[in-house]
Structure 1
Amino acid sequence: MRFVLYQRDYCHLCDQALAVMAEARVPDFDSVWVDDDAALEERYGVRVPVLRDVRDGRELDWPFDAATLRLFLAQTP
């Protein structure tokens, strides 16, 4: 998968991000939960949800809207 959404269990902001991602028609992506991983917890902490493009390492932190998300998706390395 090109995109990964870093998120937490029971995260209302993550739920909102998923709704915006559906609105922007984000292609298939992986979900990674940071709760049980000390390294991810340290890296992402309170930043979640974060959408990461694994090809170039770009990250889009919450909050984002559909227009911002579409721009992020359109950028290519």
Structure 2
Amino acid sequence: MLKVIFYTKEVCSLCEDAEALLTMLQQHYPFEIEERDIYTNDAWLEEFQLLIPYVKINETTIDCEELNIDTLEDAIKKNI
């Protein structure tokens, strides 16, 4: 099954919006979400602090500036 890695943090309205989009897309496509809180790993914090919400689907990455329903759906469809 396709795995979507979702980098996030607590108290982040953009992250909540992105999570809602992912949950909505799960109703149409088979994938699992692995949520990673950047504050639980120093390397994630350093790499993604200014980019969250950040999604990685295989080799496809989507940062906060690009993240919307269309980019998520396209990336999921491309990787299924």
TM-score scaled to structure 1, two decimals? 0.80
Q: CA deviation at 1:33?
A: 0.3
- The answer to whether the 8 A contact 1:8-1:14 is kept is yes
1:41 aligns with 2:45: yes
- What is the CA distance between 1:36 and its match in structure 2? 2.7
- 1:7-44 Cα deviation digits (max 9, x unpaired): 00111110011112223336221100001311111111
Aligned residue for 1:66?
69
CA distance in 2 between counterparts of 1:72 and 1:59 reads: 8
Q: Structure 1 regions of 5+ residues with no counterpart?
A: none
* Aligned residue number for residue 13 of structure 2: 12
Residue 41 (structure 2) pairs with residue 30 (structure 1): no
**What's the RMSD between the two structures over aligned residues?**
2.0
Which has the larger strand fraction?
Answer: 2
Runs of 4+ in 1 over 3 A off after TM superposition: none
